[in-house]
Amino acid sequence: MAGDVETLDWDLIFQFVSDPLEGSAIEKPWTERTEPPPFGTTFGQVPTPPESCASSPVDISSDDDDTPVFVSTTFFPSAQLQVLPPDLVLLSSDSVFFYVHQHVLLAASDNGFNSLLPLSPITDPGFVGCVVPFPEPSAELNIVLHAIYNISCAHYSPSFDSLVSALAVMNVYGISVKKYITRFAPLYNLLLFHAPLYPLELYALAASYDLYDLAVPASSHLLSFPLASLTDEMVDRIGPRYLKRLFFLHFGRSDALRRLLLPPPYSHPPTVTCNFTEQKKMTRAWALASAYFAWDARPDLSTSSMESALAPLAEEVSCEQCKLALQERLKTLIVQWSVVKVYLYTLVSGFTLKKFFQRTI
C-alpha cells in the first residue's frame, strides 16, 4: 500500500485543491462588480486625506523623507509658551515654521496682523494648526514673535539690520513699537547693546518711532559725533524734534565747559615769597590753558584729558599755597564736569537755548 501511495498522481491531488467546492464559490467584492449592489449594502470606511487650510498652499507633510523641515527652536509644537497648545503655524519666506497662538497675535496687533488674522471659522486646522505663509524672513519674524511673547532673543545674536527690519515689520502688522520697546524690555536691551557700534543709526531709529527712553542712552554715544557731517537723509529720519535735542546736547555741554573753566584758582593772602604779582602769574597761566579748551570746547572732552593739560601748571609755581589752590581748583573742575549731563534733556514748549545754557551747570 505504501508503494501505491507514493505512485499517486500529485497533479490529481492539486486538482482537488484548486477546484472550488460545490456551493462555496468565491464572490467578488461589490466594488469590483458591474451590477449594482442590493439596497442597504454598507461599505467599510474609506481613508481620506486631511483637509488643507484655505489660507495655506503649503503641505507640511512630505513623501520624501530626505526633505528637511526647519522649525523654530523657541516656537515649536511642545514649547509650552502658553497654557493652551499652539493653534497657528507661521511659515516664513525662507521656509521656517513657527508654532504660535492666534489669540496672542490678535491681542498684540491692532489690524489683525495685517488682515491675516483671524482665520476663517469654517477652516479646520487639524492637530498641527493652520499654516499661514508669512512674507518676511525668519530672522525678522523670530524677533517680532519674541517681542510679542516678551522673551529675549539675545541668544540668537540678531544683527542690527535685522532689528531695524523687525521694527518695520511690527509697524506693518499693527504691533505698537512703543509698547514693546520700553525700559528693561528684552528688545530694548538688545537694541541698546548695539549703541556703541551704531550710535547715530540707533538714535535715528529711536527718533523715527518716538522712543525717548531709547534715544536718551543712545545720545550719550554721540558726544564725539560731528554734527556738521549729518546728511539730509539722516536729518529726515531723525526729524526736527530729536535733531533739536541732539544740537542742544552738544551746545549745552560746550557752553557748560566754558563756564566751568572761567573761574581761576582762588588767591591766598600775600606772603613774603608770594605776593599778588606772583599769584597773577598763576592766574594768567590758568586763563591761557582754559582758553585752549574753551576755543575748541568739545562735548566729549574727558576728565583725564582735562587733568593732564591743567595739572602741569603746578610745576611752574613755587608757592605751596598756590599749588594747593591749583589742585583744589582742578579737583572741583573735574567733579563739576563729570556731573554735567551726557544725554538728552527733556525740552518743553517755549524752551529757549539761553534757558538751556543756564540749566546745564
How confident is the model over 105-164, as pLDDT tens digits?
Answer: 999 999 999 998 888 765 555 555 688 999 999 999 999 999 999 999 999 999 999 999
Strand residues in 5-150 grouped as ranges (E): 70-71, 88-91, 96-100, 130-133
pLDDT of residue 343 exceeding 60, the answer is yes
What's the predicted TM-score (pTM) here? 0.73
pLDDT of residue 206 exceeding 70, the answer is yes
* Phi, psi of 295, rounded to the nearest 5 degrees: -65, -40
Q: What is the mean pLDDT of the chain?
A: 80
Q: Using CA atoms in the order 207, 209, 215, 219, what is the torsion angle rounded to 10 degrees?
A: -30
pLDDT of residue 294 exceeding 50, the answer is yes
Helix (H) or strand (E) holding 17: helix 10-18
The letter for the amino acid at 38 is P
At 88 the three-state DSSP class reads: strand
Q: How far is CA 92 from the centre of its chain?
A: 18
Helices (H), 173-231: 177-180, 186-192, 199-208, 212-219
- Give every CB contact of residue 188 below 8 A, 6+ residues apart in sequence: 181, 182, 213, 214
Between CA 37 and CA 30 the distance in angstroms is 6
Percentage above 90 pLDDT, the chain:
50
The letter for the amino acid at 243 is L
At 310 the three-state DSSP class reads: helix
pLDDT of residue 7 exceeding 70, the answer is no
Between CA 56 and CA 74 the distance in angstroms is 22
CA-wise closest residue to 88 among 128, 33, 28: 128
Taking the alpha carbons at both ends of the chain, their separation in whole angstroms is 131
Of the candidate ranges 106-110, 197-201, 289-293, the one whose mean pLDDT is the lowest: 289-293
Which residue has better confidence, 359 or 193?
Answer: 193
